[in-house]
């Protein structure tokens, strides 16, 4: 079975690897380099802390478990970093209620005293911690997405980089081939749209109207600095996690709106939280685009009107990619996964018109 996967981010790599394991011949195509799009500009936080409705929370929990399994299978892998996540800020009662609600769902969560928080993250300025404590989610993690993509694409996948999809050759309700801007034509028994922010354009080539409401994402990377940051931390005004080579990755909702003033404020807020960051400079600022389907939920699996066309598009792609990639690959090779994918079908958008 010849499958063309459009997009070489975490979704495209995960779907491609899952298809190879099922015996398919896979070509992954991308307008740029693997991991150079959204997957290369993401906070890449593996979690299901704020995911609603319940079916979406459950999908993300399954995604977390898939990452844990892959990390256990490849213990020398260099992409998965456990350690959990810490959160505080805003209304403490609301945060405690969230912890209780997650516990009721079986999600690993607990409340830490300030002293317990400092045991985990000794680099935090103690004065910045609320006296009532913080929420801790031990099962969460972060991923270095480019390393994950490299691992997944090493699975006997033909990668065509720097060559965008220009169109699809259709015969009735079947895609016969994928045409690239270079003029190359890839004959296909199935096509999987993993194009992230460009998914609507690739869908339109098959006559499908996919509503998207993409949002910007701006990430700030510090220079290497000796700061004992070991996990994802969500504090008021700043989100941060470790990054390779001693760097720190910074994010906030304010910096997404852009501008140098927002970047400068984010760095000041981070240094106020972790005094050791004061020794760092801004090494780079990376801008990406979050792919968000119209109703915020993933679009996964087969399409009713185009028999060999499939979707794997969503926000939270890093968390979801391994598990959702398996589900989508199952459907590509003919296994019905209606039990898991019914809430995430493309057709819900057509029904709402």
Q: Which domains does the chain have, with CATH numbers?
A: 2-44+146-211+294-351 (3.50.50.60), 84-139+214-290 (3.30.9.10)
Q: How many residues does the chain have?
A: 353
Task: Summarize pLDDT for 210-254 with one digit per residue, the tens.
Answer: 999 999 999 999 999 999 999 999 999 999 999 989 999 999 999
- pTM to 2 decimal places: 0.96
User: What percent of the chain lies above the pLDDT cut of 70?
Assistant: 99
Partner residues linked to 312 by β-bridges: 300
Count Cβ atoms below 10 Å from residue 10 Cβ, excluding itself: 31
In this prediction, residues 27-51 reach a mean pLDDT of 95
In this prediction, residues 82-89 reach a mean pLDDT of 97
CB-neighbour burial class of residue 154 (10 A; exposed 0-12, middle 13-18, buried 19+): exposed
User: What percent of the chain lies above the pLDDT cut of 90?
Assistant: 97
Partner residues linked to 170 by β-bridges: 175
Handedness of CA 20, 165, 345, 62 (dihedral sign): positive
Per-residue confidence (pLDDT) for residue 155, from 0 to 100: 84
Q: How many CA atoms lie within 13 A of 62 on its CB side?
A: 16
Which residue in 174, 212, 187 sits closest to 303, CA to CA?
Answer: 174
Partner residues linked to 219 by β-bridges: 286
Q: Rounded to an integer, what distance in angstroms lies between the CA atom of residue 290 and that of residue 292?
A: 6
In this prediction, residues 280-297 reach a mean pLDDT of 96
User: 258 pLDDT exceeds 90?
Assistant: no
In this prediction, residues 318-343 reach a mean pLDDT of 98
């Amino acid at each position: 079975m010849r499958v063309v996967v459009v997009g070489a981010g975490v979704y495209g790599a995960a779907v491609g690897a899952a298809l190879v394991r099922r015996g398919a011949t896979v070509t992954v195509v991308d307008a740029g380099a693997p991991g150079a799009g959204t997957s290369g500009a993401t906070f890449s936080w593996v979690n299901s802390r704020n995911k609603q409705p319940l079916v979406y929370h459950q999908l993300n929990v399954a995604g977390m478990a898939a990452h844990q399994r892959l990390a256990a299978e490849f213990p020398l892998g260099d992409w998965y970093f456990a350690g959990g996540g810490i959160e505080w800020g805003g209304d403490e009662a609301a945060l405690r209620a969230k912890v209780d609600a997650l516990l009721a769902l079986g999600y690993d969560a607990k409340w830490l005293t300030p002293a317990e928080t400092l045991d985990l993250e000794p680099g935090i300025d103690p004065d910045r911690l609320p006296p009532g404590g913080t929420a801790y989610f031990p099962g969460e993690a972060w991923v270095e997405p480019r390393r994950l993509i490299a691992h997944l694409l090493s699975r006997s996948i033909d990668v065509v980089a720097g060559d965008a999809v220009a169109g699809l050759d259709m015969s009735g309700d079947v895609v016969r081939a994928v045409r690239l801007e270079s003029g190359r034509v890839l004959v296909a028994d199935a096509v999987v749209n993993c194009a992230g922010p460009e998914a609507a354009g690739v869908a339109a080539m098959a006559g499908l109207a996919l509503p998207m409401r993409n949002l910007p994402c701006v990430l700030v990377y510090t220079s290497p600095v000796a700061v004992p940051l070991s996990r994802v931390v969500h504090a008021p005004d700043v989100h941060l996690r470790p990054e390779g080579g001693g760097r720190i990755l910074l994010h906030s909702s304010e910096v997404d709106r852009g501008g140098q003033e927002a970047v400068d404020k984010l760095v000041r807020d981070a240094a106020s939280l972790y005094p050791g960051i004061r020794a760092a400079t801004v090494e780079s600022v990376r801008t990406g685009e979050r792919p968000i389907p119209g109703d915020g939920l993933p679009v996964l699996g087969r399409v009713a009107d185009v028999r060999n066309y499939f979707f794997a598009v969503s926000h939270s792609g890093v968390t979801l990619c391994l598990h959702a990639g398996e589900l989508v690959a199952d459907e590509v090779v003919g296994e019905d996964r209606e039990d898991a994918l019914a809430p995430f079908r493309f057709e819900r958008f057509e029904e709402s018109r």
